[in-house]
Amino acid sequence: MSTLDGALWLISHGFAVFPADHPGTEHCTGLHRECDGTRGKHPCVPFTRAYTLDEVQVRRWFDAQLRNVAVAVGACAGPAGTRLLVVDSDRPGAIEDTAAAHGQQHAPTMRVTTAKGAHDYYWAPAGARLGNGLGSLRGRFDGDVRGGNAYVIGPGSVHQTGVIYELADVEQPPVPLPVWLLDALQAPAVVPVARPANSAVRQGSGGLVGLVRFVLASAQGQRNERLYWAACRAFEHARKGQLEPRAVATALVDAAAHVGLTEAEARSTVTSAYRSAGGTR
C-alpha cells in the first residue's frame, strides 16, 4: 500500500488526513524551523485546520510528491458523535498485557502496525475528555494515547527505519473504547510526591494535587498559560523544600497531556516555569 493508497483508504472510511514529512526526501519537509532529526512524522501543513476528506485534495498532496499520510485524530467523528482515540503501543502486545493486568481481554479493533508496535483505533464517547494523557496507566503501559488535538501516522507511510505502516485487517473498523480503558484514562494521574517528612511537606503535597486539578480544568486556548502558572507556583513550593521538583514536573506534564498538549509542549512550558521560579537547567 502506497501513501496515496493509504490516504484514499482512510478518507473513504471517514478519517481526515494531511501530509507529513517522508524519510525518502533529501530534507525534512515539516513546517518546523529546524528538524530534530526525526524523519517521517512532522506535519507539512497546519494539521489542526488543513486536514481533508476530499479525494481531489488527497491526490494533489500524495500523488505528485513524496509525503507520508497522517490522520488528524480530533477531526474524525464516529457513530453517534463518538470521537477517535488512538492507542499507540511501543511494543507488540503492550495493550494486550495492560488489558490482562486489569482482568480484561483485549478486543480486536482497527489496527495499524508500526515500527515498534501498533496503533489501535477506538471510538470514544463524545463527552469524554480525553487528550494525550495516560491517566492511571502512566508507568503501567508501554506507549501513549492520542486524542483531541493530535495526530498519528497512517497506513502506507514509511518510518525512518524503512518499516511501512500497515493495516492489520482492512475489514476491521474501530470498536467502541472499552469501559476499563476509558475509566483508566479518565482516572486522576497518580501524583508521585516524595514521602512526607513533616507537616510542611504534607501541605505542599496537597498543594500539588490542587495545581494538577487546576491544569486538568483547562479549556483549549488556556492550557499553556494555566500550566505555566501552576508550574511556577509548584516550583516555588519546591524551592522551600515542600515538594520534589521531579515530582512536580511529572505530575504537571501528565496533567497537561491529559487535556491535549503534547508531552514536548508540556515539558517545554514546565521547564520555562522552573527557570522562572529560580531553578537551573
pLDDT block averages, 10 residues each, the chain of length 281: 95 97 93 84 92 96 94 94 95 95 94 96 91 86 91 96 96 96 82 41 59 83 85 85 81 83 84 75 42
Query: Residue 187 carries which DSSP code?
Result: S
In order of 55, 120, 124, 139, 250, the CA distances from 78 in angstroms are 19, 15, 9, 30, 33
* Predicted model pTM: 0.72
pLDDT of residue 238: 82
Topology of domain 3-186 in CATH is: Prim-pol fold (3.30.2250)
Helix (H, G, I), strand (E, B) or coil at 167: strand
Domain boundaries, the chain: 3-186, 199-276
Neighbours of 198 (CB within 10 A): 10
How much of the chain is in helix, strand and coil states, percent to nearest 5?
Answer: 40, 15, 45
Name the helix (H) or strand (E) containing 95: helix 94-101
What are the tens digits of pLDDT across the range 49-103? 999 999 999 999 999 899 999 999 999 999 989 999 999 999 999 999 999 999 9
Distance in angstroms (rounded) separating the CA atoms of residues 238 and 165: 44
